[in-house]
Every structure is written in structure tokens, then in C-alpha cells.
Structure 1
């Protein structure tokens, strides 16, 4: 029950269902999710350890605010760890890993083809396909802890994209970028890891611009 509660809470925080700086009061959460206080406390503690929930002494739990400093931290951390996970995956990956990348890219292409950026349901599906693609690139990395860290950082970045409503406009270009990246990874090209780091940086620039210089 705690795991299920953590999953639903994380989804609502990442997707914007729970707004930044929202106090997470136990009574409200039990009504919202239909779960008892004990599994909710465990879920909140787990999410606090992952950085998706803020614990402030006597003030209790809350949804973290969005700030330039935090987004830069997440982006730069991803640029350090994800390319390394990719390098390890390219060394260790076999046919099953390659098939996973091809399948994930195909699913992403299909989802973009039926896009409806005004639909929250479609955005959820698109984000799931996009996440699956990025996961597939590093799936053969033999370090589970590194993979989990990459996953957490990815979701932190997704939260900013969803909150700032940075729905991609040039879908053809976005798809092309992912196709080129997949091609380089499947070829075990030396430039694949720097390409991934650059891609992570470019997507953050849009959100940083929307946050503006006044973002804390």
C-alpha cells in the first residue's frame, strides 16, 4: 500500500496535480487517495528521500517549490551521470538492449504521430513513451543504483516541463533529434554520450527561460 501511495503521489507531483509548495496534510491525503495514514507516512518519507517531497521540521511535508537553482542542479547532475550510464550500457549491451531501443523509439514515434498537446491524457502517454525511450538507452548499464538515480533525476526534470507547459512545438525536429541519438547509441559511437549531455542541456534551456531571472 505504501508503494502504491508513493507511486500515485509521485505522479501527481510530477504531473502538476499537486502544485509546488502545497502543504501535504495527512487528512487531505487520506481523502484524496483513500489510503490510511501509516502507508501514507511511509510513502511521504520515501519520496522525501528521493527529493520529490520536502520535509521541514515542525511544518511537515510539502511539495518542493520550482526554482532555477534546483533545475540547474538536476540538469547538471543528469549531464554527469546519464552519459556515464550510457557509456557503460554501450559496453555491456547486447541484442536485447538494441531491440529495446528500437521498440521504444517506434512507440515514441507512434505517440507523436497522434499528438494532442491540449490533452492531459495524451501528455501523460507521451511522457511515458519519452521516458521509456531515455530509459532504453541506458538499460544495459550494469549499475542498478546509477540507473535509479538517473530515473529520479529524469522525473524531476519532467516535473519542470509539465509545470511550465513546455509542450514541444516542432515535433518533427524533436523526433529527428531522438532518432539521431538512437542511431549513434546503436552504433556505439564515441559521440553518443556527449550528444546525450547536449540534448539534456537544450531541453532545460526552454524551461529556464520561462522561469526567468527572478526564479529563486
Structure 2
């Protein structure tokens, strides 16, 4: 599981440094949807040559969070209800499949990792005040780690790679939604119920709860996007 919030290790390839820093800036909203991404400007900002910057932009375009065209160059991908609906639809399909596989192949170590990751997520949530937890980097990192602990016994690296990419694309929308949320959401309780369903071995219940968890986020994001659109009219 990639952690876009983590600073690249010392001595990491320059392409990885550029990729991680730009991905974080886009997902966390520092580079806004639709913003033009000039190679020269980014090179100066990150202290890197144009080659790793350009390669990182091409890889981010493949991930769907940057758009590229011959005429307009690179831009931060826009956000929309339709795009997030598609992300959510694919997440449900792939994550439910991965969770079902994980519940088939998971062992005691897998169960222990789930419990430990949930404990770390809960500890982070307790330290926060009543603000939007999705905007806290430590919480976001632990949140992703919890979800991927659930999938970790899935034997398909390719499936997990697709899930990782979609999860990060969804994170950009979660952060946007958290900035515009009007009603609090007790995600820790959702995660606890999901964890219990997984550890109980009931695949039907666990995958149904995962689907509901993703759909709840989809509804919150849609409302936030619609509110933003109404203010621009």
C-alpha cells in the first residue's frame, strides 16, 4: 500500500520524490481542481529538474488525478459528481471482491493486523477535536491502513493495486467533502461494525457493510459538490 502522505525516503529516486509531493498536493487540495501545472514552475517549487517533474505528471495522468493534452499541457483533474460516482462504483466492485478473498485466505496474523490497525485509527480519532477528521493527515494515513488491513490477505497484487489507486482518488473527494460538511459523521463506529463483521466470518454481511460505507461517503460528497455548484450560480 502506497502512502502518499509520507515524505519520500532519503535517497529515493527523483521521480518518486516528485510523484509523492505532487500527488499529496493534489489530493490534499493544495493544488486545486483545474489548476494549470507548469513544468518550469513545479521544477522551481520542488527544486528538481524538469525530467522527473514531467515523468511524474505523466504517471499522475495515468492515475486519473492529472489531465494532459497537447494543446493545454497538464492540469489538475476536475472533480464532479459523475467522476466520483464512477470511482465509488468501481471501489464497491473491487473492494468487496478483495474483502471476500481476504476472508477466505486470512489467518490469525491477518486478524491481528486488523485489530491493531483499528486500534491505531481509534487512538488518532480520540485525539482529535470535533473538526473534520478527513482533513487530518495522521487520521487519513491510519484510515487507509485500516482499510488495507482488511484486504491484506487477498492474494491478488493486481487487484490491490487497482484498489490503491481508486482509494487515493476517493481521498481527494473525501477531503473536499470534509471542508463542506454540515453534519458530523461517526466513521469510527462504522469502522468498528465493519471490523466485527469481517472477523465474524460472515462474508455477506461484511461486504454489504463495506458497500454501505462507500455509498455513505458517495452521498456526502455529492451533497458537498451540489452545494458548491449552487453557490456559483
Q: Deviations over 1:8-60 (max 9, x none)?
A: 11111100010000111011101221111111111111111111211122211
Partner residue of 1:147? 160
Partner of 1:115: 128
1:200 aligns with 2:209: no
Within a 5 Å distance, the mapping from 1:4-43 to structure 2 comes to 4-43=17-56
Runs of 4 or more above 3 Å deviation: 116-122, 166-171
| Residue 58 (str. 1) matches residue 58 (str. 2) | no
Q: Distance in 1 between matches of 2:206 and 2:46?
A: 42
Alignment of 1:1-216 (within 5 A): 1-116=14-129, 123-164=136-177, 165=179, 170=184, 173-190=186-203, 191-212=205-226
List gaps (5 residues or longer) in structure 2. Answer: 1-13
Q: Distance in 1 between matches of 2:181 and 2:141?
A: 14
Q: TM-score scaled by structure 1?
A: 0.92
Distance (whole Å) between structure 1 residues aligned to residue 99 and residue 109 of structure 2 = 15
The number of residue pairs the alignment matches comes to 214
TM-score (norm 2): 0.86
Label 1:91 to 1:166 Cα distance change in 2 as closer, same or farther (>3 A): farther
Moved more, 10-19 or 116-125: 116-125
Contact 1:13 1:19 in 2 (8 A): yes
